[in-house]
Each structure stands twice: as structure tokens, then as C-alpha cells.
Amino acid sequence: MTLNIAICDDEAKEFEPLCHLLDICSFQFNIDLHIDTYTSAQALLTRYRESTGAPYQLLLSLSATIQNICRTASPSTPTTSFKSQSRKSR
């Protein structure tokens, strides 16, 4: 099975270090990866809309592009802040 990953960032130069790290993890844990990179939220959403199912199991958004993805997907809805929150385990 292949793990499909999408990485989105405004600057293409940011992809290289992360892709390299994912390649190392892929080799170390014997996982097949397919990585697509996007420099715009619109391009990523177009790919999602054109696919018949969910094309990715993992979406990595570098910098503030996650907010751009949310705005592009739903321009009439206010963007929610995506700050990490600590949660207690039960």
C-alpha cells in the first residue's frame, strides 16, 4: 500500500528538506510514499475536486497555506485559527 501525501507551501524551496526527511522515514519504516507538492491552495483544491475519492491520506501545509486552503474552499466562511491545543488522554 502506498501512503499518498500532499505538501502545500507558497515557496517551492521549502519542499526539499521535508521530502528528504519523508524519504528517510519511508526507507527506515519500509513504507511506500507518493508525494505531490503544491505552491498554491487553489491547485491542491483543484486536485481534490477532480479526484473520485480522497487522493491523500496526509496533508502537510507549511507556513500559513492552511488558512489559504480554508479560505479558498469556503470563501463565505470565516477562517478558524489552527493553533495546537493540549488535550488530556482518557
d(CA 66, CA 60): 9
CA 42 to chain centre: 13
Asked whether 58 and 8 are in contact (CB, 8 A), the reply is no
Asked whether 9 and 15 are in contact (CB, 8 A), the reply is yes
Asked whether 48 and 41 are in contact (CB, 8 A), the reply is no
Threshold 0.75, pTM exceeds: no
Mean pLDDT computed over every residue of the chain: 76
- What DSSP letter does each residue of 28-42 carry, written as one string? HHT-EEEEEEESSHH
pLDDT digits (tens, 9 = 90+) for 31-85: 999 999 999 888 988 988 898 888 888 888 776 545 555 565 555 544 444 333 3
